[in-house]
Amino acid sequence: MDTIAAEDGVNILLVNPEFPDTFWSFKHALEFVGKRAALPPIGLVTVAAMLPGNWSLRLVDANVRKLTDKDLAWADCAFISAMVVQRDSAHQIVACCKAAGLKVVAGGPLFSSEHEQFPEVDHFILNEAELTLQPFLDDWAKGNPRRIYSTNLFADLSQTPIPRWDLLDLRRYATMGIQFSRGCPFNCDFCSVTALLGHRVRMKSSSQVIAELDSLYRLGWRGDVFFVDDNFIGNKPFVKKDLLPALIAWRKDKRGILFFTEASINLADDKPLMDLMVEAGFNKVFIGIETPDDTCLAECRKDQNENRDLVADVKRIQRAGLQVQGGFIVGFDHDQPSIFQRQIDFIQKSGIVTAMVGLLQAPAGTRLYERLKREGRISAESSGDNVDGTTNIIPLMHMDKLKEGYRRILDHIYAPAPYYQRIRTFLREYKPPHVRGNLRFAHVLALIRSVYRIGIVGRGRFQYWKLLLWTQFRRPRLLPDAIILAIYGYHFRKVCKKHVA
Ligand code: B12
Q: How confident is the model at residue 3 (pLDDT cuts 50, 70, 90)?
A: low
Q: What pLDDT sits at residue 411?
A: 94
Cβ atoms < 10 Å from Cβ of 252: 6
Q: Is the CB of 89 under 6 A from ligand 1?
A: no
Cα angle 326, 259, 255 (rounded to 5 degrees) comes to 150
Q: What pLDDT sits at residue 113?
A: 85
Q: What ranges make up the beta strands (E) of 53-151?
A: 56-61, 77-81, 103-107, 123-125, 148-149
Of residues 26, 175, 33, the one with CA closest to residue 483: 33
Contact 70, 43 (CB under 8 A): no
Ligand 1 centre and the CA of 148: distance in Å? Answer: 20
In eight-state DSSP terms, residue 423 is H
Ligand 1 centre and the CA of 298: distance in Å? Answer: 27
Cα angle 97, 27, 311 (rounded to 5 degrees) comes to 125
Ligand 1 centre and the CA of 228: distance in Å? Answer: 9
Q: Is the CB of 47 under 6 A from ligand 1?
A: yes
Q: What pLDDT sits at residue 460?
A: 84
Residue 457 vs residue 56, higher pLDDT:
56
Residue nearest to atom 1 of ligand 1 (CA): 228
Q: How confident is the model at residue 93 (pLDDT cuts 50, 70, 90)?
A: very high
Q: Is the CB of 387 under 6 A from ligand 1?
A: yes
Residue nearest to atom 29 of ligand 1 (CA): 43
Residue nearest to atom 31 of ligand 1 (CA): 43
Q: Is the dihedral of CA 377, 379, 385, 390 positive or negative?
A: negative
Ligand 1 centre and the CA of 395: distance in Å? Answer: 27
Ligand 1 centre and the CA of 81: distance in Å? Answer: 9
Ligand 1 centre and the CA of 69: distance in Å? Answer: 27
Q: What pLDDT sits at residue 177?
A: 97
Whether pLDDT at 295 is above 90: yes
- Plot region of 79 (φ>0 → left; ψ -120 to 50 → alpha; else → beta): beta
For the stretch 161-185, pLDDT in tens is: 999 999 999 999 999 999 999 999 8
In eight-state DSSP terms, residue 7 is T
Ligand 1 centre and the CA of 451: distance in Å? Answer: 34
Q: Is the CB of 23 under 6 A from ligand 1?
A: yes
Question: Which atom of ligand 1 is closest in space to residue 182's alpha carbon?
Answer: 57
Question: Which atom of ligand 1 is closest in space to residue 113's alpha carbon?
Answer: 83
What would you measure as the largest C-alpha separation in the chain, in angstroms? 70
Q: Is the CB of 82 under 6 A from ligand 1?
A: no
Cα angle 174, 226, 28 (rounded to 5 degrees) comes to 35
Residue 345: half-sphere exposure toward Cβ, Cα within 13 Å? 7
Ligand 1 centre and the CA of 458: distance in Å? Answer: 33
Residue nearest to atom 66 of ligand 1 (CA): 385
Question: Which atom of ligand 1 is closest in space to residue 197's alpha carbon?
Answer: 57
pTM (2 decimals)?
0.94
Q: Is the CB of 389 under 6 A from ligand 1?
A: no
For the stretch 208-223, pLDDT in tens is: 999 999 999 999 999 9
CA dihedral 461, 463, 465, 468 (to 10 degrees): -140
Ligand 1 centre and the CA of 203: distance in Å? Answer: 17
Residue nearest to atom 18 of ligand 1 (CA): 228
Pocket test for ligand 1, best of 57, 58, 59, 83 (most atoms within 8 A of CB): 83
How far is the C-alpha of 257 from the C-alpha of 67, rounded, in Å? 30
Q: Is the CB of 154 under 6 A from ligand 1?
A: no
Of residues 263, 332, 269, 327, the one with CA closest to residue 301: 332
Q: Is the CB of 94 under 6 A from ligand 1?
A: no
Q: How confident is the model at residue 385 (pLDDT cuts 50, 70, 90)?
A: confident
Whether pLDDT at 90 is above 70: yes
Q: What pLDDT sits at residue 247?
A: 98
Amino acid at 403: K
Beginning with the edge strand found earlier in the chain, give each strand of the sheet holding 224-227 in spatial order: 175-178, 224-227, 259-263, 282-290, 323-330, 355-359
Segment 444-460 mean pLDDT = 79
Whether pLDDT at 438 is above 70: no
Residue nearest to atom 10 of ligand 1 (CA): 24
- H/E segment holding residue 358: strand 355-359
How far is the C-alpha of 284 from the C-alpha of 426, rounded, in Å? 12
Q: Which residues contact 396 (CB under 8 A, 6 or more apart)?
A: 333, 335
Beta bridge partners of 329: 358
Q: What pLDDT sits at residue 5?
A: 55
Indicate the average pLDDT of the chain: 93
Q: Is the CB of 79 under 6 A from ligand 1?
A: yes
How far is the C-alpha of 477 from the C-alpha of 321, rounded, in Å? 13
* Residue 492 dihedral angles phi and psi, to the nearest 5°: -60, -40
